[in-house]
Amino acid sequence: MVETSPESTTTGMQYKDQVMRDGQQYLMQNYARLPLVLIRGQGAQVWDADGRSYLDCVGGIAVNSAGHCHPLVVAAIKKQAEQLIHGSNLYWLPQQVALAKRLVRLSGLDQVFFCNSGAEANEAAIKLVRKYGHEHGKSAPEIISFTNSFHGRTLGALAATAQPKLWEGFEPLPGGFVHIPFNDIDALRASISPQTVAILVEPVQGEGGVNEVTLEFMQALAEVRETHGVLLMFDEVQCGLGRTGEMFAFERYGVQPDVMMLAKALGGGLPIGALLARREVAAVFQPGTHGTTFGGNPVVCAAALALLDVMEQESLPANAEVIGNYLKDKLKALRQRFPFIKEVRGRGLLLGIEFDRSAKRLVALCQEAGLLVNCTADKVIRFMPPLNITRSEVDQALAIFEDALQRFAC
């Protein structure tokens, strides 16, 4: 029998060691995992197999927006699991339809395709706009994307991701992508060709180091769309769904996308991806053009509907803005004491602290003291806690972080 809980062995520590040893033997080693075996989560806290608790400011990489195991999400999953776990897209599934209707109302876009992850949502989006291009006279449609972007690990999404280090060993990648510097208006204008069908951008880059599209650049994107008839595709997989203080990050700019991708937080912790588009663009997907077995699964959609209820009832986007501003100001204040902090940036509860050196060791120092944070782009510590994190939990996180910074300085 495979042991999956610490209760069935002598001590939590032994169980933890066993899980890590077996993991090294039986799992492919494609992740640099930290020595933490997660057993339980509640709100902004998680527990390791050895019984220690941690304040979770990683949130499963911007997934657990309502906190771990929110009772409404748990109840929705249980209820749906007792009714119908899987149906198939050969048939109509009410939870899927209800979720699509809700997302359409929230976003102002018209139709939705469901899949299982952010990479899949981007993959579907790439196919959608390419087909749209072909139907509009482009024989080799091109998509423009930006330096330090991240769109996922499948081949199409990886080819769109303008980070050459992530391509190594996986060439040849699909063609049809043009990569240009982020927030560079001249490069944008110069990159448009008769084959350009779409521009793919994260309104706030997450993996790339928490970099926001400037207002001027967003206006230039809108102007290019107007002048050249290209589509704007917003990858809101990480920055969407309340994280930056609005339901969608694009709202702040007043520029509506033609196509948008969501994932991460949407399933309340269960895997889901969503591609949304304007009706005219969505219409190029016809029966047989694209699909997936599990996309829009009833349990996942029930969880997502519950997550959206929680977002509304607990005003999570507004909380993200208020608590995010509080946290950002406190982090900025740390710069005076710790000059190796170069910049604090981001919005809402997607915040990045850039250091003048690698920040990887700081993750371990925080973890030792009971705080989970993440390091991205080598020098950036990212805070992505649940959107309902309280001020006192943020204060606790800050106290640990400050202490870890002191040790990091030595």
Active site residues: 150, 235, 264
Q: What sign results for the dihedral spanned by CA atoms 119, 304, 72, 388?
A: positive
* Site pattern 35..74 for ligand PLP (x: CB under 6 A): --------------------------x-------------
Strand partners, 180: 146
CB-count exposure of residue 364 (10 Å: 0-12, 13-18, 19+): middle
Q: Which stretch binds ligand PLP (CB under 6 A): 52-60, 116-124, 292-300, 315-323?
A: 116-124
Q: With binding defined as CB under 6 A, does residue 267 bind ligand PLP?
A: no
Taking CB under 6 A as the rule, does residue 150 contact ligand PLP? yes
Sole window of 13-21, 186-194, 235-243, 353-361 interacting with ligand PLP (rule: CB under 6 A): 235-243
How is residue 281 written in tokens? 């663009």
Q: Is there a cis peptide before residue 257, judged by omega within 30 degrees of 0?
A: no
123 scored as a contact of ligand PLP (CB under 6 A): no
Say whether residue 128 binds ligand PLP (CB under 6 A).
Answer: no
Residue 398 identity (one-letter amino acid):
L
Pairwise CA distance, residues 383 & 57, whole Å = 5
Residue 303 contacts ligand PLP per CB under 6 A: no
Closest chain position to ligand PLP (CB) = 118
Using the rule CB under 6 A, which residue among 48, 56, 123, 202 binds ligand PLP?
A: 202
Six token digits for residue 57: 């400011």
Q: Does 208 bind ligand PLP (CB under 6 A)?
A: no
Contact 145, 177 (CB under 8 A): yes
Among 238, 297, 367, 388, binds ligand PLP (CB under 6 A): 238
Indicate the residue type of 162. Answer: A
The count of chain residues that interact with ligand PLP, using the rule CB under 6 A, is 15
212 near ligand PLP, rule: CB under 6 A: no
Q: Which two tokens stand for residue 150?
A: 């991240």
Of 151, 104, 136, whose CA–CA distance to 277 is shortest?
104
- Separation of alpha carbons 351 and 293, rounded Å: 35
Residues that bind ligand PLP (CB under 6 A): 61, 117-119, 122, 150-152, 202, 206-207, 235, 237-238, 263
